[in-house]
Copies of this chain bind each other. A is one copy, B any other.
């Protein structure tokens, strides 16, 4: 599939569409109108239609969207039929919390191994996930064929650990540290900063409205 012209904003909405159709299907709904969809997702219907148009014509005028069809479509598009195995680096407070969560609401993402430098937890199992020495990260990732890593180390070691991940041929990093990582262009980094999200929300509430 070549989709080089699809905007990033559209791609970021794909999992949302997928999960909403999953939810509708779980609720035994059969179809949904464009307007209902727009209202439920809080995205205006022109945007939804434009998003869907990148993948061909998915709805029927006057009928709306067939939920099973849409679900199947997004499932394939997002490779939801196979589980994506990922690793987590940094089993501290947040890392341990993420291992506990382990994306349990979605059945296609799984953290299968974790890494740390703390000898006290190396060799242990945290929330059913084995913890290995970060020094051996390259070997373990290779064995499990994993190239996507969740980074939840303390900010002070974030860049140093990133170097190790680069050397281990990681392709994607979901960065939970507040540091903006310096990486080669070939590596894709997405930043998630929970404290940042909450601080920003509070800032808006304090300074606007």
Contact = CB atoms under 8 A, between A and B. Distances in A.
Interface of A: 1, 3-4, 11-12, 14-16, 18-20, 23, 39-43, 78-79, 84, 86, 93-94, 96-98, 100-106, 109, 147-148, 150, 154-156, 171-172, 174, 178-182, 186, 188, 190, 192-209
Contacts of A18: 199
A43 B147 CA distance: 25
A93 B104 contact: yes
A86 B198 contact: yes
Q: How many of these chains are in the complex? A: 2
Contacts of A188: 201, 204-205, 209
Contact of A182 (B14, B42, B102): B42
A107 B106 CA distance: 32
B101 A199 contact: no
A50 B202 CA distance: 22
Contacts of A208: 4
A176 B196 CA distance: 14
Given A105-B155, A192-B197, A202 B172 contact: yes
